[in-house]
Structure formats: structure tokens, C-alpha cells
Structure 1
Amino acid sequence: MRFVMLMVVLAGLCFGGFPAKAERTGTAASPLRVLLIPADGGTEDGTRADFLPLFNAITRTSGIHFDVRTGQSYAAVIEGMCAGQAEIAWLGPVSYVEAHKRGCADLLAIEERDGSSTYYAGIFVSSASGVDNPADLQGKSIALGSQHSASSFSYPLSMLSKAGVDPLRDLSAIRITGSHANSLLALQNGLVDAAGASFVSFERAVNQGGLKASDFRLLMKSDPIPNPPIAMHPGLSPQVKASLRKSFGDVHETPGIRPESIRGYGGKQVDRYNTDATDALFEAMAGAIGFIDTDYQAAILQKSGS
């Protein structure tokens, strides 16, 4: 954590607090660099493989080429955008808001299924535990993912707070694992009493054989959360921006593009990518997680290290 924070500070010093300009043009010789948050571990056969079919389809429809990679962490993807090391990013909703506020990212598209652009997070417990309601978590421990994650960090903290459980005062320990999957594994192995993760990540871990669904029980379900968006660097040329918007918006209707290529979070097939969505979609998060300011987050991280 100290290393990540040091890198954030150094990035701010090196770039004078302003985002660097995008350098790539999208040609085969100068492909747009894409960074993906490591939502489910960030492996080559995981997050990157989920999105390669989509970006390959966009190349076919627009002629824009991409170099798709997975970042080492949520923070690394934010810093990559702000340092001009990527032109496109797939970000968590909280990560996107952070990058957008810093002038590093503009909304490009958000996945949509059945007319919805939202998903859910949960707090999971062991099915054999005696934890039947949120109050039972007092004096117990929880595993959370990256502090930049909405569904594995911010919303679980919000759910606990709304239920009258103060994460700082009432929990015996908070473990920051860095990912949804790691938090669920910590719960499965009895290292914690509860874990925060998205429904998508839980389902994926079960489908891949890493978790047995019957070993877990859902204790709390979040309000709807905006789907992780695809963002573009503000420094891209207007022509490239327009081409990206058109291609992402039309790719699901393009002849020759297989529906199963239009995939998103967790590798799931989506109906389309909505390029008409605005930042208003993310403003609703403020009411749910607005109390998690810099000081509160620092206190959570300090508790996790104690």
C-alpha cells in the first residue's frame, strides 16, 4: 500500500497535477492502449480474455487498433490513464469517478443487459456460520477487495453502516485482499467471517470451480450499482472519439459480428454498449458511499494493517 501511495504521489509530481496527453492514434502501428482493472484476478485467461472479442470486433468495424492489457491494480489503471500511458480503460464505477475528477477519463460506453446498466454487490458469509443478520457481525472480521472498487469495498462498507454496524468500531478486523476472488477465498478458508464481492464475481468463481456455492450464504444485497464503464482519454482527437462512440454503440448490430463477442464484466454476453449514458448515472452513488472520504478510507486501511 505504501508503494502504491508513493507511486500516486510521484505521478502527481511528475505530471504537475495535470493528466498527460494521449499519444496513440489507433493505427496498426500506433494502437490505442487499453488498460483493464483486474476485477477477477486480472489473469491473461481472465479479464483480458473477456474483453478481447469486443475490442477485436471494434477493430473490424472502425479500423481502430488496440493493445489490450490488464493493470496490476485498480490504482495502477487510474494512474496509467492520468500519466498518458493508456487511451482507453475499463474501470470500476468508483475508479472511473476518481479518474474523471482528475481530468483523465471521459465516459465512452457502459454495458447493458435487458435494458439495465447496473449490477449488485453482496456481503457473503459461510453457510455453516451463525451469522444470520448484520448485527451478528459485531466483533467479527470481513475481507474486502481494492479500496478503489465499488462492489468489493465501498458498497459493503455502506451496507454495514446502514445496518447499524460501524466497520471501524464494531468489526474485529478488516482484511484488504485486493480482489473479489481473494476475499471470497479468504472466507472459504475460514480466515474471515464475511466477504464483500459482486454477484458477477461470485458467480464466475463458482462457475470456474474455485468456489462451491452451497458453502456460502448471502447476508446482505446492495442497491443497484452502475456497471463498470469503458472510458477514453480526453486527449484523444475528436475524430477518434467520434469513431469510438459510433463503433461501440453500433457493434451489436453490425453484420458479421457474433453476439457472443459482445461481452463485458465477468465475461458475460451483453445486449449492447450504451454510448448515450451520461455521468448522471454515477451521481447516484454519492448518496450511498459519499461518507467514504479520504479520511475514512485511510482509517479503514489503517485498521486493515493493524
Structure 2
Amino acid sequence: MPLLKTFVAAAAATLITITGAAAQQAGGTAGNPYRVMLVPADGGTEDGTKADFKPVFDAVTQTTGIHFDIKVGQTYATVIEAICSDVVEIAWFGAASYLPAQQRGCAELLAVDVNHGTSTYYSGIYARKDSGIAAVTDLKGRSMAFGDANSTSSFVYPVAMIVAAGLDPATDLTAIRMTGSHANSLKALAEGQVDAAAASFDSFEKAINQGTISAEDFVVVGKSDPIPNPPLAMSTKLPQEVKDALRGAFNTVHEAPGVSPEMIRGYGGKQVDRYDATVTDAMLAPALVTLSGVSGDLRASILEKAGN
């Protein structure tokens, strides 16, 4: 599949940023914790993505004695290669970055967060209210910021929305900026560097809550279909008893004594009801359909324009 080959090539290109050799697998003890890497959904800062997930990992440690060392990858491709090179045992992906790792035989699902009975979220395209952009079709002749090219909700789904509106992003947008994250794209929009930006609704809401942007200044010009929540995944090389222990830990952590509801956090740092460790790859089927529509050639043409 061309799209998968493109993702794999991008991930392989970042190998030198991680390590030249596979590290010894960790054991989950305080001295040898399981290594976790998160995709940089909100900029990849210590007070961003890492802080979003630290509470739930701390809760698992508190209730099971399993320890974790959490880091944030510089790019989505870095995280793909990290789990495929045995540099980490656990990773947090979007659907667009999990699928290449799963198809390479590196990763399998661990758990996904559930809130109000659902495990879905939304991608959006945003513009300033004074821009005159009221619909996705109005993006013709305008500039736009996307996040990481391996991101489900800051690239794949927004591109699909633009194509569904009858536009070709590579020719109908006057300029394209690849910013690397949702937060950076929203920042570029807020500073007037672009006319529109792509990001998840979770990231948009988080930026508003943090005061980075003002809700009164922006309009949502496009909202995606429901997207499967970004899953936690684990290395296929872990022993089965370890996989079972991790799934059991995340599946029950919300019920554990001493764990407060505020510790059960998901994407964007939002408090969620629980984690579901019975999730299967079939959950990602809707995302796979959208991924197949954003072909390797289309993706390549967008990245080429962004590089000019």
C-alpha cells in the first residue's frame, strides 16, 4: 500500500534520532521501568503531552507497582521507529501512526480511553472569524497549516475533508505549512501566519483553556466524522504475561483504591471515565478507510508544496 510505504520510509528516516542499536527490554521495576514514548500531539513539551498522560501512568504504578519512564517523541515517525527498534515497550499513537507499526509487526493495542461510553474524537479545520472563510470550499486560494504528516487529526482527516469538498490541497491552497503539531498549527493561525489550520477538537479546546488562543476569534469551518481515539500500544515482543498484566492494569485502574477520578486522563489531558483494554484492531477500521483515501501521491504532493 503506497501510504504505508510512505509512513514506513518517514519512520525509518528518523532512526538515527533515536538509537543505532536496540536497547535491552525493560522489566517494569523502579530501576528498570517500561519505556513509554508519546506522539507530540500538543507540541511535545514537558508541560504538554507528557503531563496529559503522567497521571494515569502514575495511577497504574500506584496500584500495581509497575513503573514507567515516559518521554515524548520529536515527531510521530520517531515514535513509530522507537517501538519497532525495541527502544520503547509502550507507545501512544494516533491511528495513522499506529497502523504502520502494527503492520510491521512491532505493536499491538494495549488500551484506549473511554468517556461517556465512546472512544472517538474529532478533527477540525479552523479560521479566524474575520478571514471570510466560512466553509471548507472557501479555503481555495488561501494558506493553511497542518501538524505532522503522520498525524491522524492534524493531517489525514483534514486533507480528506478538503478533498471531499472538491479541492486539491496541493494546487488549491496557495501555501502549506507543516508545523509538526496541533499546538503549533493553532499558534500559526493565531499569529496570522496562515489563513486556516488543522487540529483535533481536543487540542483546540486545550489551547482555549490554556489561554493560548481565544474562542471568540475563531470559527470552525470543518468537522470530521468520528475518529477512533488514539490508542496506547505495546511491543509485540513483550512476554504474554506482561501484556496480560498491562492490559489488566489499565482496564481496572479507574476502580483501584486510592486512585482519584482526576488521575484517569486521556488525549488532551481530559479526565475520562476509564480505559478499555479489550479494544481490537477492528476499532480502527474507519480510520483505515480514510487513510486509504489520502494516497501516497496526494500526501507527497502536499509535502512537496510545503517544502517550496
Q: Which residue of 1 aligns with 2:5?
A: none
Deviation of 1:91 (Å): 1.0
The TM-score normalised by the length of structure 1 is: 0.93
Q: Which amino acid aligns with 1:287?
A: V
Cα RMSD after superposing both structures: 2.1
Give the alignment partner of residue 25 of structure 1, picking from 17, 27, 49: 27
Q: Which residue of 2 aligns with 1:178?
A: 180
Give the alignment partner of residue 124 of structure 1, picking from 126, 133, 153: 126
Unaligned runs of 5+ in 1: none
Q: Find out whether 1:8 has 2:12 as its counterpart.
A: yes
Residue-by-residue CA offset, 1:165-221 (whole Å, 9 max, x unaligned): 111221111110111111111111111111011010011111111101111000010
Deviation of 1:241 (Å): 0.6
Does the Cα contact within 8 Å between 2:153 and 2:198 map onto a contact in 1?
yes
Residue-by-residue CA offset, 1:213-267 (whole Å, 9 max, x unaligned): 1110000100001111000000111111110010100001111111110101111
Does the Cα contact within 8 Å between 2:148 and 2:154 map onto a contact in 1?
yes
Q: In the comparison of the two structures, how many residue pairs are matched?
A: 299
**Measured at CA, do residues 49 and 134 of structure 1 come closer, stay the same or move farther in structure 2, by a change above 3 Å?**
closer
Q: Which residue of 2 aligns with 1:284?
A: 286
Which is worse superposed, 60-69 or 243-252? 60-69
Unaligned runs of 5+ in 2: 1-7
* Distance in structure 1 (CA, Å) of the matches to 2:151 and 2:220: 19
Q: Which amino acid aligns with 2:12?
A: V
Q: Which residue of 2 aligns with 1:218?
A: 220
* Distance in structure 1 (CA, Å) of the matches to 2:295 and 2:276: 30
* Distance in structure 2 (CA, Å) of the matches to 1:134 and 1:231: 33
Structure 2 SS opposite 1:290 = helix
Q: Which residue of 2 aligns with 1:55?
A: 57
Structure 2 SS opposite 1:116 = coil
Deviation of 1:5 (Å): 6.2
Q: Which residue of 2 aligns with 1:71?
A: 73
Q: Which residue of 1 aligns with 2:106?
A: 104
* Distance in structure 1 (CA, Å) of the matches to 2:112 and 2:14: 31
Percent identity, aligned pairs only, is 53
Q: Which amino acid aligns with 1:282?
A: L
Deviation of 1:30 (Å): 1.4
Q: Which residue of 1 aligns with 2:163?
A: 161
Q: What does residue range 174-253 of structure 1 map to in structure 2 within 5 Å?
A: 174-253=176-255
* Distance in structure 2 (CA, Å) of the matches to 1:7 and 1:280: 24
Q: Which residue of 2 aligns with 1:261?
A: 263
Structure 2 SS opposite 1:85 = coil
